[in-house]
Amino acid sequence: MYKVMLVDDEMFVRQGLRSLMDWESLGYSVAGEAENGEEALQLIRDIDPDLVITDIRMPVLDGLELIKRVSEETVHDPSFIIVSGYHDFKYAQQAIRYGVHDYVLKPIDEVELASTLRKLAKSLGSKRWARRGKDKSMPDSILEGLITGEIGAEEAGEYASALPCRADSRFVYVIAERSAKPPASESGEALYRKAAHALSGYMELGGDAPLQELQHGRFGFLLNPAPEIKTDGREGEQFWSSVRSALVRALETPVTLYAGQTVFHLTQVKMSHDAAQQALQHRFAEEGSAVIRWESVHSKPLHPYDVEQELVDKVLERVEENNKRGYEEALESIFRHFKSSRFTPSAVFSSLNRCVMAVLKVIRAMDGSEENAPVVRELQEAQSQPVTLKELKEMAGGFIAEAADRIAQLRKEQSKGGIEKIKKYIETHYTENISLKSIAAQFYMNPVYLGQLFRKTYGVYFNDFLLHLRVQEAKKLLRQTDMRMYEIAEKVGFQNADYFVTQFEKLEQVTPTEYRNKLLGRS
């Protein structure tokens, strides 16, 4: 689609022009509107339209000045169509001298404008390739047009000569994926130029193969093999092996190829491109294959949905248990399932994200910080990189192991928090008839484990801690009241006064009576 910008100071004129034409059927889309030349100039800088349809008479900056300013900047080079009334014909003639494509009179005739737009589309295509050619070779720019379907049968002959090839020849679009980093000494552009040259032997009329970078580590190219070369069936295996070898030598890194279907006209390249993208969807299911051809995999069903919940639950359970062998086996089971059930890449990443989010949910529920959250970003980034199932499993396995340790640590911290609650409970209820057994029952714990945990946490046995609290309170009552011994014993939690005296003397080396008498100055 070619981007169009409408410029007129009357809003209703712009709206009418937008609705008057079936822009999409003509190969255009309205990308923006402006009500004066100054506003239009900034918008041109922002959206870089292919075509600007503008009135001449406008406030701030008129149409002629707009065209002049754009041509002087040289950064953007849209085509212009002037729309104006009869009385502005003199201005229109001047605009045409500035290189304006055409002049359309108001009121606009739909048929006339449609005819102008169709004629312009052809020159816009050439201009687009030329503009792209500043950064890329002409064949590479043409390839982009072929896979988007922008080049029709009428232009096929013209662009075939630029590749060079015959329009009614044989073509195969291929996606190459690097499985290792390229040499650090060379730029990506230099490497791809090497790749394009290395593939020149697979172009019927010679010349570098048209090539485009798709994303990090992945690029697409078009082959045009000679008629006598077999590319399909078993006989084609040798051909694809040689293509891959040429790329490996040029890029100095292993590559995997995803080959689309063979087509027999330049206008069908989009069909081959789409087939190569379909082959790419089998990359995890066919992992280990150096060449994955559409003809070999298109009939094999793919699994586009997330992994079953029970498999996710099994991983989660083993992680919560901190069962290393268990969660490793559960994760291994999921990855075997990915391959055996032929999961699509999106289904693999969606399933892994589900596992990760389930684990993070547990960590959040235990009041833990999401220190492992970066793995979510790593998985998202991996979706646009040539990563293998093995690498994904290592990434997921590292996250799971860290998460299991984190959950175990949080559980310990929670246990410590629990014992602190028990300690506070004892300090509040020590005057009551409490015991290790009764407190363990109160907090749903095993009494033996509670006793061990209390000793480990506070360095003192439960009974000694309880006795210390009771004796300290008894001493306070002895100092501050004239309560009898049996009353004090009952007040601080002892059921028997004699036992109270014995335990008091054991801890303070004096009896309760001796302690009070000493305070009163009695011998």
Helices (H), 48-109: 63-73, 89-97
What does DSSP say about strands 255-259 and 172-178: parallel, antiparallel, or unpaired? antiparallel
Are residues 145 and 259 located together in one domain of the fold? yes
> Is residue 490 very low, low, confident or very high in pLDDT (cuts 50, 70, 90)?
very high
Asked whether residue 83 carries a pLDDT value surpassing 60, the answer given is yes
- Alpha-carbon separation of residue 151 from 123, 260, 371, 449 (angstroms): 12, 19, 51, 78
Determine the pLDDT at residue 365.
Answer: 74
Q: Which amino acid is at 106?
A: K
> Which of 36, 33, 41, 31 has its CA nearest to residue 3?
31
Which residues touch 357 (CB under 8 Å, ≥6 apart)?
376
Q: Which amino acid is at 108?
A: I
Are residues 82 and 231 located together in one domain of the fold? no
Q: Are 124 and 247 within 8 A, CB to CB?
A: no
DSSP string, 391-420: HHHHHHHHHHHHHHHHHHHHHHHHHHHHHH
> Which of 146, 170, 148 has its CA nearest to residue 159?
146
Are residues 103 and 223 located together in one domain of the fold? no
Q: Which amino acid is at 168?
A: D
CATH number of the domain residue 100 falls in: 3.40.50.2300
Are residues 515 and 402 located together in one domain of the fold? no
* Rounded-to-integer distance, Cα 352 and Cα 378, Å: 11
Where is pLDDT greater, at 485 or 71? 485
- Per the structure block, which two tokens stand in for 163? 């590749």
Where is pLDDT greater, at 142 or 454? 454
Determine the pLDDT at residue 14.
Answer: 83
Asked whether residue 127 carries a pLDDT value surpassing 70, the answer given is no
- Alpha-carbon separation of residue 401 from 179, 325, 328, 352, 389 (angstroms): 26, 10, 9, 15, 18
How far, in whole angstroms, is CA 434 from its chain's centroid? 57
- Alpha-carbon separation of residue 242 from 201, 237, 245, 249, 522 (angstroms): 10, 9, 5, 11, 110
* Rounded-to-integer distance, Cα 221 and Cα 380, Å: 26
Asked whether residue 185 carries a pLDDT value surpassing 60, the answer given is no
What does DSSP say about strands 218-223 and 211-215: parallel, antiparallel, or unpaired? antiparallel
> Is residue 416 very low, low, confident or very high in pLDDT (cuts 50, 70, 90)?
low
* Percent of the chain's residues with pLDDT above 70: 86
Are residues 220 and 290 located together in one domain of the fold? yes
Q: Mean pLDDT throughout 374-401?
A: 81
Please calculate the CA angle 271-276-282 and round it to the nearest 5 degrees. 135
Q: What pLDDT digit, counting tens, does each position of 29-77 carry? A: 888 899 888 899 999 988 888 899 988 888 888 888 888 888 887 677 8
Sheet holding 51-54, edge to edge: 28-34, 2-7, 51-54, 79-84, 102-105
How far, in whole angstroms, is CA 285 from its chain's centroid? 21
Q: What pLDDT digit, counting tens, does each position of 143-153 carry? A: 877 887 767 77
- Alpha-carbon separation of residue 473 from 4, 114, 459, 504, 521 (angstroms): 89, 100, 21, 11, 21
- The domain boundary residue, chosen from 379, 411, 443: 411
- Per the structure block, which two tokens stand in for 264? 């027999």
Is the pTM higher than 0.75? no
Are residues 270 and 320 located together in one domain of the fold? no
Asked whether residue 129 carries a pLDDT value surpassing 60, the answer given is no
Kindly calculate the radius of gyration of the chain based on its CA atoms and give it in whole angstroms.
40
Is 418 domain-assigned? no
Asked whether residue 465 carries a pLDDT value surpassing 90, the answer given is yes
Are residues 293 and 226 located together in one domain of the fold? yes
222-250 residues labelled b (16+ CB within 10 A) or e (exposed): bbbbeeeeebbeeebeebbeebbebbbeb
Q: What pLDDT digit, counting tens, does each position of 260-276 carry? A: 999 999 889 999 999 99
Q: Mean pLDDT throughout 195-213?
A: 83
Is 62 domain-assigned? yes
Asked whether residue 395 carries a pLDDT value surpassing 50, the answer given is yes
Q: What pLDDT digit, counting tens, does each position of 286-302 carry? A: 999 999 999 999 999 99
Asked whether residue 346 carries a pLDDT value surpassing 70, the answer given is yes
* Percent of the chain's residues with pLDDT above 90: 31
Determine the pLDDT at residue 130.
Answer: 54
Determine the pLDDT at residue 134.
Answer: 45
Of 184-193, 250-259, 374-383, give the range with the top mean pLDDT.
250-259
Are residues 93 and 183 located together in one domain of the fold? no
Are residues 455 and 491 located together in one domain of the fold? yes
Domain count, the chain: 4
- The domain boundary residue, chosen from 273, 297, 321: 297
Domain of residue 356 covers 309-411
Are residues 260 and 395 located together in one domain of the fold? no
> Is residue 337 very low, low, confident or very high in pLDDT (cuts 50, 70, 90)?
very high
Q: Mean pLDDT throughout 11-29?
A: 80
Q: Mean pLDDT throughout 377-395?
A: 80
- Alpha-carbon torsion 82, 88, 90, 94, what sign? negative
Is 417 domain-assigned? no
- The domain boundary residue, chosen from 132, 149, 165: 132
Mean pLDDT of the chain: 83
Is 160 domain-assigned? yes
> Is residue 100 very low, low, confident or very high in pLDDT (cuts 50, 70, 90)?
confident
Which residues touch 126 (CB under 8 Å, ≥6 apart)?
none
Residues in the chain, how many? Answer: 523
Is 66 domain-assigned? yes
* Rounded-to-integer distance, Cα 278 and Cα 268, Å: 16
Q: Mean pLDDT throughout 342-357?
A: 89
CATH number of the domain residue 269 falls in: 3.30.70.270
> Is residue 200 very low, low, confident or very high in pLDDT (cuts 50, 70, 90)?
confident
- Helices then strands, counting H and E runs in the chain, come out as 22, 10
Is 60 domain-assigned? yes
- Alpha-carbon separation of residue 225 from 98, 239, 259, 421 (angstroms): 46, 10, 13, 78
Is 261 domain-assigned? yes
Are residues 182 and 283 located together in one domain of the fold? yes
Asked whether residue 228 carries a pLDDT value surpassing 50, the answer given is yes
Asked whether residue 322 carries a pLDDT value surpassing 90, the answer given is no
Determine the pLDDT at residue 133.
Answer: 45
Which helix (H) or strand (E) segment holds residue 52: the answer is: strand 51-54
Of 60-64, 162-166, 453-457, give the range with the top mean pLDDT.
453-457
Determine the pLDDT at residue 179.
Answer: 74
CATH number of the domain residue 471 falls in: 1.10.10.60
Are residues 330 and 445 located together in one domain of the fold? no
Is 27 domain-assigned? yes
